[in-house]
Amino acid sequence: MRYPRDLLVSKGIDPNSLPEDDEVPDRVPALYTTELPGDLTAFDTIQLSAEGTDLDVRLIVVGAVDQTPSMLYVIDPGTGEVLQFDPSSVAVRGVNSNYRLFVACLGRIAWAMETANTEEVGRVLNAGMRYTLRAVDDTAFEEGAWWPLVFERFES
């Protein structure tokens, strides 16, 4: 799918944190999808509120966890980070430093799955892939981040 570079820049995202190519994956089995629940669509902005009061916190939706579509991937325009956001608990977890690196990680996994002719992400999430993704975005593997949890889940 194509992502709307100009729209994201107009929403405050640093152009240097966006993928150079405007093509991004629309699905990586078990990890990512742009098919979202309810009325949400990719690149919508959601605003957080507390007890009916709008907060000055906006998040840009870029997808959802493929097997758990209520768990969203969002960009924080303030930092440029891609976060995993659970609207039901309002919990967030770091995923990648920015959208460019998020797409790069998804792309590497998608390519490995295609090369291995599999839709089972666990077949490509090995030590070599961990090393590759860590080289792409070292901060994505800090304690409490999402990528280490993915590897733990699919390596076992």
Output the average pLDDT for the chain.
92
pLDDT tens, residue by residue, 21-46: 989 999 999 999 999 988 999 999 99
pTM reported for the whole predicted model: 0.93
Q: Provide the domain limits for residue 109.
A: 5-155
Burial of residue 134, with CB atoms counted within 10 A of its CB: 0-12 exposed, 13-18 middle, 19 or more buried: middle
Domain count, the chain: 1
Q: Give one DSSP letter per residue of 64-127, joined into a string.
A: EETTEEEEEEEE-TTT--EEEEETTTTEEEEEESSHHHHHHHHHHHHHHHHHTT-S-GGGT-SH
